[in-house]
Chain A
Amino acid sequence: MPTKKEVFEKIQVALVDALGVDDEDVTLEATLVGDLGAESIDFLDIVFRLEKGFDIKIPRGELFPEDILTDSKYVQEGKVTEAGLDELRKRMPFANLDQFAQNPVVQDFGNLLTVADMCRFVESKVEVTD
């Protein structure tokens, strides 16, 4: 059973390998897109590495909800609708969407997800000890 520290360290390795960043860049507060420069192909690579690293299955869209953000049911004129925000909250209970919800511009979504969110996501999938 990994500790929370071990979960973070494994995620750090996955992000360093996937994004080509340095260890010290990967802090809990760092955003994947804004701070670490992740693009769509990187998200896929990160999911693959987390699946392998933690021996878990991550259904596509569970960690990075591209399907919601590209669905005209949930996005109108470049902004996520209320229905879309509801879907995001359901899909991503590990992330804090309050600030994004104040002005939910799709293009800004990438700056939402932090390394800490990813840790909480993985912790919801594996049993951890403190």
Chain B
Amino acid sequence: MRFEGKTAIVTGGSRGIGRACVARLAAEGAKVALIYHSNQEAAEALVAELASAPGEVRALQADVRDFQRAHEIVDSLFEEWECINVLINSAGIVHDGLLGAMTQDQWRDVVETNLGGTFNYCHAVTQPMMMMRRGSIVNLSSTAAEFASRGQVNYAASKGGINGLTRSLAKELAPRNVRVNAIAPGMIETDMSQVVRGIAGDQIKKIIPLKRIGRPEEIAAAAAFLGSDDAAYLTGQVLRVDGGLSLGGY
């Protein structure tokens, strides 16, 4: 169990990829704090489901856009746990639309949640991880950051920003043995992607070399790898986990 005796924070941990990350880390022995925004029922259900996991799971409510709250949560966990080994920034939303018709709220909500939330939690864990001289931050990006789709200007901008933040922060924190990486999932079977998957139908599978939609557990496996000592020499990377979608070509 790679995370026995280790601690982790997972934002967006009540659903989708974040949920799978919480389950994976708990199965591998970690003490996990999952941060959820509004779905308390789902968060509590997950905590109950994982009650017999080797690790421990707790749910904490927060809006990831709240900088102060991020610091309160991290400071409190650091005081209790005395270390923060892994941060997985998985909280994210979509609110698609063509730019010409996009409202300021659509733009702001997506960018402030996805990129702003990532900034807030990275900022909060920097001090404890630097002082411990170890830690791993895993940011959830998307293939949308590099491979354009119509109607996702806000989402693509937020994920592109996460890629840039990841690389720059990796350079900053490397001297303190804190690694920072991102995962760019392709089309994954989550609530968040169901609208796009519904519109695209089976056509989407034709352009994915592995001919199927990915599962949240497969992203969680990549996150667990990046968070673990198995990736001890890996930092500043954006790992595409997309069934080959980004290969393009014929």
Are A41's CB and B131's CB within 8 A? no
List, in ascending order, chain A residues with CB within 8 A of B248's CB.
none
List, in ascending order, chain A residues with CB within 8 A of B127's CB.
48
Q: Looking at chain B's contact residues, is the secondary structure mostly helix, strand, loop, or mixed?
A: helix
> Can you name the residue of chain B whose Cβ is closest to the Cβ of A45?
B130
CA distance A49 to B126 in the complex (A): 13
CA distance A48 to B124 in the complex (A): 12
Q: A-B pairs with CB below 8 Å: how many?
A: 16
Tell me, yes or no, whether B239 is within 8 Å of chain A by CB.
no
Tell me, yes or no, whether B176 is within 8 Å of chain A by CB.
yes
Which residues B119-136 have CB closer than 8 A to chain A?
126-127, 130-131
Are B131's CB and A49's CB within 8 A? yes
State how many angstroms separate the Cβ of B71 from the closest Cβ of chain A. Answer: 12
Tell me, yes or no, whether A106 is within 8 Å of chain B by CB.
no
CA distance A48 to B133 in the complex (A): 13
Tell me, yes or no, whether B173 is within 8 Å of chain A by CB.
yes
Tell me, yes or no, whether A52 is within 8 Å of chain B by CB.
yes
Q: Place the interface of chain A in its size category.
A: under 10
List, in ascending order, chain B residues with CB within 8 A of A49's CB.
131
Q: Looking at chain A's contact residues, is the secondary structure mostly helix, strand, loop, or mixed?
A: helix
Tell me, yes or no, whether B175 is within 8 Å of chain A by CB.
yes
Q: Place the interface of chain B in its size category.
A: under 10
State how many angstroms separate the Cβ of A34 from the closest Cβ of chain B. Answer: 19
State how many angstroms separate the Cβ of B137 from the closest Cβ of chain A. Answer: 15
- Chain B 164-184, CB-CB to A under 8 Å as 1, else 0, gives 000000001101100000000
- Choose among B130, B172, B173, B175 the residue that contacts A48 (Cβ–Cβ < 8 A): B130
- Chain A 35-71, CB-CB to B under 8 Å as 1, else 0, gives 0000101001100110010000000000000000000
List, in ascending order, chain A residues with CB within 8 A of B173's CB.
41
State how many angstroms separate the Cβ of B162 from the closest Cβ of chain A. Answer: 21
CA distance A49 to B176 in the complex (A): 14
List, in ascending order, chain A residues with CB within 8 A of B172's CB.
41
- Chain B 81-99, CB-CB to A under 8 Å as 1, else 0, gives 0000000000000000000
CA distance A52 to B126 in the complex (A): 14
List, in ascending order, chain A residues with CB within 8 A of B176's CB.
41, 45
Q: A52 with B130: in contact, given A41-B172, A41-B175, A45-B176 (CB under 8 Å)?
A: no
CA distance A48 to B172 in the complex (A): 15
> Can you name the residue of chain A whose Cβ is closest to the Cβ of B173?
A41
List, in ascending order, chain A residues with CB within 8 A of B130's CB.
41, 44-45, 48
Which residues A1-60 have CB closer than 8 A to chain B?
39, 41, 44-45, 48-49, 52
A-B CB proximity, top 7 nearest = A48-B127, A41-B175, A45-B130, A48-B131, A41-B172, A48-B130, A41-B176
**Contacts A/B (CB < 8 Å), 16 sampled:** A39-B175, A41-B130, A41-B172, A41-B173, A41-B175, A41-B176, A44-B126, A44-B130, A45-B130, A45-B131, A45-B176, A48-B127, A48-B130, A48-B131, A49-B131, A52-B131
Seed contacts A41-B175, A45-B130, A48-B130; 11 additional CB < 8 Å A-B pairs: A39-B175, A41-B130, A41-B173, A41-B176, A44-B126, A44-B130, A45-B131, A45-B176, A48-B127, A48-B131, A49-B131
